[in-house]
Amino acid sequence: QPDLVERLISVDISPTSTAPVSEFSAYVSAMKSVKIPDGLSRSAARQLADDQLCPVVQLPQLRQFLLTNLVEVEGRYVWRVNLEAISHHLADIMGFPVFHKPFPGPALFLGGSNSPYISSKHYPEIQRLFPKARVQYIEGAGHIVHQDKFEEFITAVLNFLPPP
């Protein structure tokens, strides 16, 4: 329902399948394999989980982002997100549905320069579905653009939005 959307911002994702460039499956597996004994403090549990994720999730800022989903429930540490459901539906999550009708409004595809999720090979599909799209990269940011380069991210979003 494009008439309900005035403008669209897509942050580090393109309207194509992301499975070929994603390490997400390995991250989900690593998160599922984390073992934390009961009774640990929050900081000790997070450090233990961080240590266990480190071999697979090498970027510290990405590990910290994933660890925001580690929560204490009744004295045990569990993942807030449903890792079983995510792993069973990963193909659907990483895919992108086929659309034929383009979005007629302004669109910003805001990517991290160090991320593979918006590349020049995606430009034709972006232009087909979003004819008024602009692609912009934030230098030095990875996939989690808003965490890696917060001020630059906010500036780009505010510059795209109409003045109040």
Report the alpha-carbon distance of residue 10 to residue 14 in Å, rounded. 7
- Structure tokens belonging to residue 141: 């940011």
Report the alpha-carbon distance of residue 25 to residue 18 in Å, rounded. 11
Can you give the pLDDT at residue 114?
94
Q: How confident is the model at residue 83 (pLDDT cuts 50, 70, 90)?
A: very high
CA 24, 7, 147, 12 dihedral sign is positive
pLDDT in tens, 26-58: 999 999 999 999 989 999 999 999 999 999 999
Can you give the pLDDT at residue 97?
84
What share of residues in the chain are helix, strand, coil (percent, to 5)? 45, 15, 40
pLDDT at 157 over 90: yes
- Structure tokens belonging to residue 132: 């008024």
pTM: 0.75
pLDDT above 70 covers what percent of the chain?
98
- Structure tokens belonging to residue 56: 């697979």
Residue ranges, comma separated, of all CATH 3.40.50.1820 domains in the chain are: 2-16+96-160
pLDDT in tens, 5-26: 999 999 999 998 876 667 888 9
Question: What is the rounded average pLDDT of the residues 118-141?
Answer: 96
CATH of segment(s) 2-16+96-160: 3.40.50.1820
Question: What is the rounded average pLDDT of the residues 68-95?
Answer: 92
Question: What is the rounded average pLDDT of the residues 120-130?
Answer: 96
Asked if 134 contacts 108 with a C-beta cutoff of 8 angstroms, the reply is yes
Residue ranges of the alpha helices (H) in the chain? 24-33, 42-53, 60-67, 83-88, 90-94, 123-129, 145-148, 150-160
